[in-house]
Amino acid sequence: MRIRPYIPNKDYKYLPKWIDNEKTHALWCANLFPYPLSPETFHDFLEKLSIERRDSAYVATENNGQVVGFFCYSVNTEDNIGFLKFIVVDKTKRGKGYGKEMLNLALKYAFQITGAEAVQLNVFPENISAKQCYEKVGFVERAFDKNIFRYKDELWSRCNMIVSKQ
């Protein structure tokens, strides 16, 4: 597996296939953009993140170039803590180690290339498989905000997780 910068005209087509229902969409982006995902809304949001928070979008590919994952990453140079967000893996690859491999590459990039001392992310604990994946990579719970996000008739909590440079 490899990671490379996200190329909108080449890579966007995969995301709607992976995020193909409203609940998966909410778990993935906390409804920061409307469902269903549209290229215009998504790319405008990525541009805004890039300008305001210095986020960059990446994809994970198999060695043959097939796109199998997506995430955004930024590093706060004041506290030297990186932040991963919008992490998603091809739905046909979930539960097969792809997320763990992608995150390990993202962490290697964060620690070795951007010089981050730690990397954090947020996850809804209701997204059990994602939280378990993050724990397998070494993320530990740092903060927990109970019942802060409404999805239809459910209230979801938010878990902030962090992993430090080894």
Q: What is the Cα–Cα distance from 135 to 152, expressed in whole angstroms?
A: 28
pLDDT for the residue 166:
83
pLDDT for the residue 93:
97
Task: Spell out the per-residue pLDDT of the chain, length 166, in tens.
Answer: 999 999 999 999 999 999 999 999 999 999 999 999 999 999 999 999 999 999 999 999 999 999 999 999 999 999 999 999 999 999 999 999 999 999 999 999 999 999 999 999 999 999 999 999 999 999 999 999 999 999 999 999 999 999 999 8
Which strand ranges, in their side-by-side order, compose the sheet holding 81-89? 2-5, 56-61, 67-76, 81-89, 118-123, 154-164, 140-151
Contact 75, 118 (CB under 8 A): no
Q: Which helix (H) or strand (E) holds 131?
A: helix 128-137
Buried-state track 26-51, b at ≥16 Cβ within 10 A, e below 16: bbbbbeebebebeeeebeebbeebee
Rounded to two decimals, what is the model's pTM? 0.96
pLDDT for the residue 137:
98
Q: Would you state the structure tokens that stand for residue 150, as one six-digit string?
A: 């409404």
pLDDT for the residue 34:
93
pLDDT for the residue 17:
96
Which segments of 11-153 are extended strands (E)? Answer: 56-61, 67-76, 81-89, 118-123, 140-151
